[in-house]
Amino acid sequence: MRIDYIIIALKSLTQRKLRSWLTMIGIFIGIAAVVALMGLGEGLRGAITGQFGFLGPDVLGVQASGINFAGPPGQAVVNPLTDDLADKIERIPGVDAAINRFIESGTFEFNDKQDIVFAWNVPEGKDRNIFEDMINLKVREGRLLKDGDKFKVVLGDSFTDEDRFGKEIKVGNKVLFNGQLFDVVGILEKKGSFIFDTAVIMNEDVLVNEFRDDNSVNVIAVKVKDLKTIGNVQRDIEQLLRKERNVKEGEEDFTVQSPQNALQSLDQTLFGVQLFISIIAFISIIVGGIGITNTMYTAVLERTKEIGIMKSIGATNQTIFTLFFIESGLLGIVGGVVGIIFGFVLSHGLAFMGRLALGSELIRADISIELVLGALLFSFLVGLIAGTVPAYQASKKNPVDSLRFTK
Does 306 contact another protein by CB under 8 A? yes
Helix extents (H) in 146-191: 162-165
State the minimum distance, in angstroms, from the CB of residue 294 to another protein: 21
Q: Of the candidates 294, 317, 360, 368, which one interacts with another protein according to CB under 8 A?
A: 317
Question: Residue 197 or residue 327: which is nearer to another protein going by CB?
Answer: 327
State the minimum distance, in angstroms, from the CB of residue 2 to another protein: 11
Question: Residue 19 or residue 167: which is nearer to another protein going by CB?
Answer: 19
State the minimum distance, in angstroms, from the CB of residue 392 to another protein: 13
Does 301 contact another protein by CB under 8 A? no
Q: What's CA 323's distance to the chain center, in Å? A: 42
State the minimum distance, in angstroms, from the CB of residue 307 to another protein: 10
Q: What's CA 396's distance to the chain center, in Å? A: 50
Check residue 365 and report its DSSP letter: -
Does 239 contact another protein by CB under 8 A? no
Using CB under 8 A, count the residues that bind another protein: 24
State the minimum distance, in angstroms, from the CB of residue 19 to another protein: 14
Q: Per-residue x/- marks for another protein, 1-20, CB under 8 A?
A: x--xx--x--xx--x-----
State the minimum distance, in angstroms, from the CB of residue 31 to another protein: 27
Does 400 contact another protein by CB under 8 A? yes
Question: Residue 8 or residue 266: which is nearer to another protein going by CB?
Answer: 8
Do residues 363 and 355 lie in contact, with contact meaning Cβ atoms separated by under 8 Å? yes
Do residues 97 and 90 lie in contact, with contact meaning Cβ atoms separated by under 8 Å? yes
**CB under 8 A, 24+ apart: contacts of 15-18:** 16/299
Question: Residue 309 or residue 389: which is nearer to another protein going by CB?
Answer: 309
Count the alpha carbons within 13 Å of 126 in the hemisphere toward its beta carbon: 3
Do residues 333 and 292 lie in contact, with contact meaning Cβ atoms separated by under 8 Å? no
Q: Please state, in angstroms and rounded to a whole number, the distance separating the CA atoms of residues 117 and 109.
A: 10
Does 305 contact another protein by CB under 8 A? yes
Q: Give the three-state DSSP class for 112.
A: coil
Question: Residue 316 or residue 360: which is nearer to another protein going by CB?
Answer: 316
Q: Give the three-state DSSP class for 16.
A: coil
Q: What's CA 39's distance to the chain center, in Å? A: 8
Does 319 contact another protein by CB under 8 A? yes
Q: Please state, in angstroms and rounded to a whole number, the distance separating the CA atoms of residues 404 and 311.
A: 13
Residues that bind another protein (CB under 8 A): 1, 4-5, 8, 11-12, 15, 305-306, 308-319, 399-400, 403
